């Protein structure tokens, strides 16, 4: 027995335990390494397969659990990260909240506003946090961009243009399965849409939207959405699963333009470039290298410890779900006009 085992630890000082529901690639590559550097204590990882759970757990020195429900029964888990297919997010988030666990949901959290409000309502009723994982927002380049805009570096903001496209991959992958919540809007379109909301006002309307479907795959493989806020600032969001890789957005103002060249998925060692164009001068600003997934788990932990920080995360989750649902409805010929 270790000496520290004999010393009682006050609840507020105990490291919060976290478990992972599912062994998705994003969890193994980015989330689990980040958790080990975060304030969380990694307790367990769950899979439907005991063998798969053991393979992942062995690499990260934690417990392997067969079955998601069994992980929720572990008493030393305070929070869970859910990187399951989109179609399973709502069910397992609800079950985790009912089990008394804080929840970090991989993006996109849920496909509709009503479901989002129900989950947030359940979290608040039980004194818990539910947060959507848009890791890119935790990279310092976005803090730099917001500061430059707020300081008037490009004058008054007139429009935003965001693009995220990736090349085709295995057509049998989850992102191409309609019944699992796949498709370009959910897989990549959510990024430029979420980034746009950092700069648009709260009263955002969907002026237009379109989705291109692959008849063999049965899911949308590209699309576009045009948004506008109450001040007349517009946002054009383009996305696709059949493109060369592009991950960028730019902000066009009355006196200049700011471009983030690697906005959504920079590696942890990369130093993304921001290009500020003012009249006939261009300034290249080098952002620091940063593990944006570590930033997510730090932010999640902070809000878990500080109830006053939770309403903002809840509001953002509902706002994003509502806007994404309206974009999809508009693309189908319904919704905003």
- What is the DSSP track for 172-209? TSGGG-GGGT-SHIIIIIHHHHHHHTTTS-S--EEEEE
Report the C-alpha gap between 59 and 79 in whole angstroms.
21
- Nearest of 269, 263, 262, 196 to residue 234 by alpha carbon: 196
Q: Which residues contact 329 (CB under 8 A, 6 or more apart)?
A: 335
Q: Which residues contact 235 (CB under 8 A, 6 or more apart)?
A: 159, 160, 161, 162, 192, 196, 199, 200, 204, 225, 226, 227, 228
Q: How many CB atoms lie within 10 A of CB 201?
A: 12
Judge whether 213 and 220 are in contact, CB under 8 Å. Answer: yes
Query: Is 52 tagged catalytic?
Result: no
User: What is the H or E stretch that residue 137 is in?
Assistant: none
Secondary structure percentages of the chain, helix, strand, coil, to 5 = 40, 25, 35
How many alpha carbons lie under 13 Å from residue 317 in its C-beta half-sphere? 29
Structure tokens, 140: 């310092």
Catalytic residue among 2, 52, 101, 107: 107
Instruction: State the catalytic residues.
Output: 107
């Amino acid at each position: 027995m270790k000496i520290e085992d004999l010393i009682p630890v006050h609840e507020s000082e105990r490291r919060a335990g976290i478990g992972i529901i599912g062994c998705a690639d994003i969890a193994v590559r980015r989330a689990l390494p980040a958790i080990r550097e975060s304030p969380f204590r990694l307790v367990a990882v769950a899979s439907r397969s005991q063998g798969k759970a053991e393979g992942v757990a062995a690499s990260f020195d934690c417990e392997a659990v067969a079955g998601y429900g069994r992980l929720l029964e572990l008493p030393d888990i305070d929070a869970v990260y859910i990187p399951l297919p989109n179609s399973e997010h709502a069910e397992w988030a609800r079950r985790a909240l009912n089990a008394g666990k804080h929840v970090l949901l991989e993006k996109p959290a849920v496909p509709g506003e009503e479901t989002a409000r129900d989950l947030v309502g359940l979290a608040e009723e039980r004194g818990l946090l539910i947060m959507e994982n848009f890791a890119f927002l935790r990279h310092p380049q976005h803090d730099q961009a917001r500061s430059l805009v707020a300081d008037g570096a490009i004058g008054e903001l007139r429009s935003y243009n965001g693009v995220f496209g990736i090349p085709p991959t295995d057509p049998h992958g989850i992102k191409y399965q309609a019944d699992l919540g796949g498709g370009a809007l959910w897989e990549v379109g959510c990024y430029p849409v979420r980034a746009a909301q950092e700069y648009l006002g709260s009263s955002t309307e969907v002026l237009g939207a379109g989705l291109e479907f692959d008849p063999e795959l049965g899911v949308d493989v590209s699309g576009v959405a045009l948004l506008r806020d109450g001040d007349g600032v517009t946002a054009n969001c383009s996305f696709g699963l059949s493109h060369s890789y592009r991950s960028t957005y730019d902000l066009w103002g009355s006196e200049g333009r700011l471009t983030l060249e690697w906005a959504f998925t920079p590696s942890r060692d990369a130093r993304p470039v921001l290009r500020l164009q003012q009249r006939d001068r261009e300034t290249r600003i080098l952002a620091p290298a940063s593990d944006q997934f570590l930033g997510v788990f730090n932010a999640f932990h902070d809000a878990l410890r500080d109830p006053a920080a939770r309403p903002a995360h809840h509001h953002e989750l509902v706002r994003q779900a509502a806007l994404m649902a309206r974009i999809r409805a508009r693309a189908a010929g319904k919704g905003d006009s």
